[in-house]
């Protein structure tokens, strides 16, 4: 039986050592804001700051990124317009209302927001737990920082708009703690993992 194309492709990917179609050495550009390879910045809660950093220090990369983002947006727009064409006018109206936000009820917008808790590298040895999204739920970050500071004797600080960092790995504990302290947030907290093990920094 002959090998199918998929198998060949998989074997190629699993091969150890240099690959034929890659230029070596591979230069990885690490973001000065989130410390991850720039390909991963978009998954970072403070993505806007990553972009600012990139624009300042690597304008060429930044313009490439902008081009890619615009292309993706354009693709989405055209997919959407072809979808709209095939829909009844009634449906269209409904969707526009949802998008526009003005016709939106408060409960709806509440549902879409989430709180993210994750472990992030702080330096080669240390990590921090990053919580973002609290402000969207009407929680004063200054109050939250005090609450976390009391609970965790180590440093807790506001590190970005809508973002708090606590020194050390307290992710599992803080998720429980937030749910206990603000019970209404129990179902909107996302455990967004641990970024230490994914990247060698």
Pick the closer one to Zn ion by CB: 47 or 137: 47
Query: Can residue 33 be called a binding residue for Zn ion (CB under 5 A)?
Result: yes
Binding residue (CB under 5 A) for Zn ion from 41, 145, 174, 188: 41
Q: How far is the CB of 50 from Zn ion (least distance, A)?
A: 3
Q: Is 47 exposed, middle or buried (0-12, 13-18, 19+ CB in 10 A)?
A: middle
Token pair belonging to 90? 């009634």
3-class DSSP state of 129? strand
Binding residue (CB under 5 A) for Zn ion from 34, 65, 118, 144: 34
Query: Can residue 175 be called a binding residue for Zn ion (CB under 5 A)?
Result: no
Q: Are 128 and 167 in contact (CB under 8 A)?
A: yes
Rule CB under 5 A: which of 46-105 touch Zn ion?
A: 50
Q: Are 70 and 95 in contact (CB under 8 A)?
A: no
Query: Can residue 165 be called a binding residue for Zn ion (CB under 5 A)?
Result: no
Query: Can residue 159 be called a binding residue for Zn ion (CB under 5 A)?
Result: no
Query: Can residue 130 be called a binding residue for Zn ion (CB under 5 A)?
Result: no
Q: Are 120 and 139 in contact (CB under 8 A)?
A: no
Q: How far is the CB of 136 from Zn ion (least distance, A)?
A: 21
H helices, E strands: number in the chain: 7, 5
Pick the closer one to Zn ion by CB: 41 or 166: 41
Rounded Cα–Cα distance for residues 57 and 59 (Å): 6
The two beta strands, 189-194 and 115-121, are parallel
Binding residue (CB under 5 A) for Zn ion from 5, 19, 21, 31: 31
Query: Can residue 145 be called a binding residue for Zn ion (CB under 5 A)?
Result: no
Q: How far is the CB of 66 from Zn ion (least distance, A)?
A: 15
3-class DSSP state of 122? coil
Query: Under the rule (CB under 5 A), what is the footprint of Zn ion?
Result: 31, 33-34, 41, 50
């Amino acid at each position: 039986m002959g090998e199918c194309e998929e198998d060949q492709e998989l074997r190629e990917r699993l091969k150890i050592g240099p690959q034929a179609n890659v230029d070596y050495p591979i230069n990885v550009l690490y973001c000065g804001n989130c410390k991850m390879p720039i390909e991963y910045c978009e998954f970072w809660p403070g993505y806007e700051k990553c972009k600012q950093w990139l624009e300042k220090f690597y304008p060429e990369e930044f313009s490439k990124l902008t081009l890619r983002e615009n292309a993706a947006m354009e693709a989405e727009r055209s997919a959407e317009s072809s979808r709209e064409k095939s829909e009844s006018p009634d449906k269209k109206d409904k969707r526009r209302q949802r998008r526009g936000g003005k016709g939106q009820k408060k409960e709806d917008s509440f549902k879409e927001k989430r709180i993210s808790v994750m472990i992030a590298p702080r330096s080669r040895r240390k990590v921090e737990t990053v919580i973002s999204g609290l402000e969207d739920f009407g929680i004063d970050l200054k109050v939250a920082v005090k609450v976390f500071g009391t609970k965790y004797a180590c440093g807790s600080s506001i590190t970005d708009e809508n973002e708090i960092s606590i020194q050390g790995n307290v992710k599992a504990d803080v998720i429980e703690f937030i749910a206990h302290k603000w019970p209404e947030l129990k179902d909107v907290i996302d455990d967004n993992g641990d970024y230490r093990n994914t990247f060698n920094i």
